[in-house]
Amino acid sequence: MNLELNPLLADTAHPPFSDIAPEHIRPAIEHLVQQCREVVDATAKVEQHTWATLVTPLEEADDKLNKAWAPVSHMNAVVNSDALRETHDSCLPLLSDYGTYVGQHEGLYQAYKAYAESAEFKQLSAAQQRVITETLKDFRLSGVALPAEKKKRYGEIQSRLSDLSSLFSNQLLDATHAWHCHITDEQRLSGLPESARIAAANAAKERGVEGWVFTLDIPSYLPVMMYADDSALREEMYRAFVTRASELGPNAGEFDNTKIIEETLALRQELAELLEFENYAELSLANKMAESPAQVMSFLNDLAERSVPQAQRERAELEAFAQSLGHKELAAWDIAYFSEKLKQEAYEVSDEMLRPYFPEHSVIEGLFTVTEKLFGVSFTERDDVDVWHKDARYFDVLDENKQVIAGFYLDLYARGKKRGGAWMADHAVRRRTQQGIQKPIAYLTCNFNSPQGDQPALFTHDEVVTLFHEFGHGLHHMLTQMDIASISGINGVPWDAVELPSQFLENWCWEEEALAFISKHHESGEALPEALLEKMLAARNFQSAMQMVRQLEFSLFDMAIHMDKAARAPGQVQAILNKVREKVAVVIPPEFNRFQHSFGHIFAGGYAAGYYSYKWAEVLSADAFSRFEEEGIFNQETGRAFLDAILSAGGSQDIVELFRKFRGRDPEIGALLRHSGIQTA
């Protein structure tokens, strides 16, 4: 294939998505990886380095590779196909081997060591010095000091872990889309809101069948669990959902992730021992804020101690309520249904009552207004940028002088062949080049309901919060002022602090002053009525302790399996999860529940021995927001202070120092407990 015509090698600001075909991918990645290796070798041979001869060439080579791989990785997640998946997965060993090659390159390591001891190093800025010292730490964690045989084994493990991560994700995606529930009896739809019925009818039409079709995508699954009066329908959906990618359920064994989980844990433990850590949790924390697994466990157990009693009271209240309606025992598929009924009775509010007030256009405009008021940036949609699907959009980010400083793609709706969940990923990072500043570009992806007929997409308030969360990540990436790739945006930020900006931005979804322009009825244009707003705010912390202990369950489970060397043994993962549940869960799922088989965060994402990061960073984000509560939620000086201290700084300084710069003190847990509705006596 002629590489000159390969769209992944085109020197363009935006990927030419329409031109990218599976056959372009491997030749482009092979070519760029080879180029990168040559640059690494040449750089290592230079005798006396300057910043320009050591850091710059490596950054430029990696940037080209990253900008070719980013659209491939993104398309694999949002417009998956067999051919795309096959070639994407075939490149993973190439990328993993290259990462190991760099991390274990003795010549390059020695070059960095020598540079760190040179006279020029002392003249560098604090941010540049941090880049060098952090790179040296990465070398050590990549096994650069290992003997040859162990280095080889390290590379083999990393390559296999990369394969397993992709396999886990692929099987979860396939399992999710392999099952659907087809209904022809309208009586079975009793209780379901109109929006869910319309979406199910459209799903049936797409499949060429009569009636209604429900899938395991969240926008289809959740309304059934919350509103369907038919207990048998809820049970059928629940069983299919919680047994995805396991040895049980309607597709039992077909996409089973059991062996992948066990092999992943075994290899992670072996990797940790190679690098002389006691367990993988210790290795994971080597680059995080938290100092040790014991500190993390203490943090999580402390939160559990504060939350479990309240969660037990909330569970008892739910059981009493269900019994008052003649329902003696709560099954797992009854929890969301009766919780929603209790919430409606207690607060006279529901997601469906709020949905008409959150049409897509108003929510996006409101999000932009909040951001502009806080940080002085604005947004313009463009129609001349190529996208991968008709529903995807592209926006420029403009500074106060109306100069374009960044851009992002937005892909909001759930669909077949698209990975579930919501995330931010980067296409390009801000960095200084010979031509000037490279603008950062982000991908922002969600899985919400799409427009139905003539009606715009109407979001639940939870979905609005999710959008703000991902946009917070996007702002961290796009508003950075760092010019070095490795500390630009979220790069170089410890994983347990990376959720700070995302969780921080969620707060505006609950503020009356912000909701005035985030919400607007899709037909009348009226703002969210005061009475409904008050009910929504009153219901904010409904069952908040139950939600807290559920997150703690996930976090404790994640830490436990990565601290226990025996977790790799058959059946042990389930046994460990059961133990964690005995300690903190107030809702014990049925024996057939296989939650771990779809826990992509830790088996196919970056959260292994790091899921606690959500709660850890929430301490930071809640405390940061409390300054806005004190000084005004749209106080421009406070907004600019957050921009300067946190968003602009990327990974240039220790996050605790950045937090102190903004808050004037160390973080405190009180704001998290208050925002989470956890009563502290």
E strands present in 429-574: 431-433, 436-438, 441-448
Segment 151-165 shows an average pLDDT of: 98
Q: Whole-angstrom Cα distance, residue 275 to residue 151?
A: 10
- Residue 679's pLDDT band, with cuts at 50, 70 and 90, is confident
What is the rounded distance in angstroms from the CA atom of residue 141 to the CA atom of residue 259? 27
First and final C-alpha spacing in the chain: 70
Given pLDDT bands bounded at 50, 70 and 90, which one contains residue 152?
A: very high
Sign of CA dihedral 190, 193, 197, 199: negative
Give the span between the Cα atoms of 534 and 579, in whole angstroms: 40
pLDDT in tens, 470-517: 999 999 999 999 999 999 999 999 999 999 999 999 999 999 999 999
Alpha helices in 325-389 (DSSP H): 335-347, 351-354, 360-375
Q: What angle do CA 536, 540, 546 make, to 5 degrees?
A: 140
Which residues are part of the catalytic machinery? 470
Asked whether the predicted pLDDT for residue 1 surpasses 80, the reply is no
Q: Is the dihedral of CA 181, 185, 186, 187 positive or negative?
A: negative
Q: How many residues make up the chain in this entry?
A: 681
339-348: which pairs have CB atoms within 8 A and are 24 or more residues apart? 339/226, 339/542, 339/543, 340/226, 340/227, 342/317, 342/318, 343/539, 343/542, 343/543, 345/321, 346/539, 346/542, 347/535, 347/536, 347/538, 347/539, 347/542, 348/535
Kindly tell me if the per-residue pLDDT of 6 is higher than 80: yes
Q: What is the model's pLDDT at position 2?
A: 85
Q: Whole-prediction pTM value?
A: 0.97
H/E stretch holding 522 reads: none
**d(C-alpha 499, C-alpha 605), whole Å:** 14
Give the span between the Cα atoms of 502 and 156, in whole angstroms.
35
Neighbours of 646 (CB within 10 A): 25
Would the CA dihedral through 671, 677, 678, 681 be positive or negative? positive
106-116 and 22-45 are packed helices; what angle lies between their axes, rounded to 10 degrees? 50
Tokens of 662: 């903004």
| 18 — pLDDT class (breaks 50, 70, 90) | very high
Return phi, psi of residue 504, to 5°: -60, -45
Q: What are the pLDDT digits (tens) for 70-121?
A: 999 999 999 999 999 999 999 999 999 999 999 999 999 999 999 999 999 9
> For residue 323, what are its two tokens?
């019994």
- List, for residues 364-391, the tens digit of each pLDDT value: 999 999 999 999 999 999 999 999 999 9
CA distances (Å), 198 to each of 192, 202, 204, in order? 10, 6, 10
**What Å distances lie between residue 383 and 259, 389, 424, 457, CA to CA?**
45, 13, 21, 20
Residue owning tokens 């996930």: 554
Residues whose CB falls within 8 Å of the CB of residue 311, separated by 6 or more in sequence, listed in order: 545, 546, 548, 549, 586
Q: Tens digits of per-residue pLDDT, 386-438?
A: 999 999 999 999 999 999 999 999 999 999 999 999 999 999 999 999 999 99
What whole-number distance in Å separates Cα of residue 609 and Cα of residue 601?
10
Mean pLDDT of 625-630: 98
In three state form, how does the secondary structure of 57-102 look?
A: HHHHHHHHHHHHHHHHHHHHHHCCCHHHHHHHHHHHHHHHHHHHHH
The residue assigned the tokens 């869960």 is 585
pLDDT exceeds 80 at position 583:
yes
* Residues 6+ away with beta carbon under 8 Å from 28: 3, 6, 8, 9, 68
Task: Indicate whether 276 pLDDT > 90.
Answer: yes
In this predicted structure, what is the pLDDT of residue 681? 58
pLDDT in tens, 431-465: 999 999 999 999 999 999 999 989 999 999 999 99
Domains of the chain: 3-103+105-141 (1.20.1050.40), 180-242 (no CATH), 258-349+543-611 (1.10.1370.10), 355-492 (3.40.390.10)
Question: If you average pLDDT over every residue of the chain, what do you get?
Answer: 97
**C-alpha closest to that of 166 among 605, 595, 558:** 605
How confident is the model at residue 95, as a pLDDT?
98
The pLDDT value recorded for residue 680 is 73
**What is the enclosing helix (H) or strand (E) of 191?**
none
Calculated CA dihedral for residues 262, 266, 269, 271, nearest 10 degrees? -120
Residues 6+ away with beta carbon under 8 Å from 555: 300, 611, 612, 614, 615
What percent of the chain lies above the pLDDT cut of 70?
A: 100
- Report the percent of the chain where pLDDT is more than 90: 99
